[in-house]
Structure formats: C-alpha cells, structure tokens
Homo-oligomer: A and B are copies of this chain.
Amino acid sequence: VPRNRADVSREEKLDEIVEAARDRLVDGGYSALSVADLARQLGLAQAAIYWYFPTKDHLLVAAVDRILKDILERKPRRGTAVTRVLWFAEQLHEFQDLRLTIRERAARAEVVAAFERDVVSLFRVMLANSLSECVGPDQLDDTADAVMALCEGVLLRDISAAHRRRVLKLGVERLLVPAS
C-alpha cells in the first residue's frame, strides 16, 4: 500500500533524502552511502529514491554540494594572502576525503565529472582572486595552479594539523615570492 505524501512538498522530501545522504557521507564516506540502507532509514522502498535521483551518483553530487556550500558559508575573513590561503586549506581539510571520492567517481559518471569541473574552477577563481594582489598578472595562472596543487597535496597526506600548517606556510611563502 504505497503511502502517498502529496501533502509534503517536493522540496521537503528531496531535502530529507539529501540530508540523510549527507550524514552517511560525512561520517562513513562513500562506502557508507547505500541507497538501500538510506531507503530503509527513511522508511521508503529502495525504488522511491530513484524517483528523485536517477542514479546514486546524482545523489552523491547533491549531498556533496550541500556539504561544500556549508563549508564555504564560513567566509574567509580579511588578512594577508598567505593567511587567507592557510585558512582556506584548513577549511577544506575535512572535505578532502570527499574530494577523492568525487575524483574517483568522476571517471565513472559524467554527472560527477561535471560537478568536479565546477568545483575545481570555483576554487581556482577564489584562489586567483586572493593571489592577484601579490602576484603579477603574467605569473598569476601558474602560481595559482602551484598553490592549489600544494594545498591539495598537503591535504592528501595524513599528518597532524600542526605539521600540515607548517608545510603549507613554508610552501605558500616560497611560491608567492618571484622566482630568482
């Protein structure tokens, strides 16, 4: 006997699913995000999820997008370019596992690939903006790429927050100095 929740708005139902997916993702990663399990928790049939998301990867994108928006909500305050980059990297640390998930799924699903492109270019723009005041326009692009790579590489490693911060600081300071 399919219960029909025509009374509840589409947005609310969508929100419920994304929120549940988000929770799973945050504390268990991709392997903890199971459509079957999610439906069970929400008291739905597995197939119900597919009414809202044609694919598990679509759900993944929706959930990760929400997580990311939450992180970006806490806006960087003013400061030098170096401190702003450090702050940025620190915010992204908790996002790194999902970053890798996105990277891996992007090879399998076009939705995820498109999402990854959007996120990366958003980050690059934000970073280039931050750096534009202390790097010449001719070197801005490559410098931004190098700083971004440094950040992602540092976040990839499983080291202490203090160690991470030290390496990032050293790296960013040197990268922001004109080549000798």
- The CA of A156 and the CA of B101, in the complex, are separated in Å by 12
A interface majority secondary structure: helix
Among listed A3-11, A44-52, A125-133, A166-174, interface-contacting one: A166-174
Number of copies: 2
Min CB gap A97→B, angstroms: 7
Residues of B within 8 A of A177 (CB): 174, 177, 179-180
A 140-180 binary contact with B (CB < 8 Å = 1; else 0): 00110110111111101101000100110011011101011
Q: Report yes or no: A167 in contact with B149, Cβ–Cβ below 8 A.
A: yes
Q: Does A120 contact B (CB under 8 A)?
A: yes
Q: Can you list 5 pairs linking A and B with CB atoms under 8 Å apart?
A: A97-B107, A149-B157, A149-B167, A170-B179, A177-B180
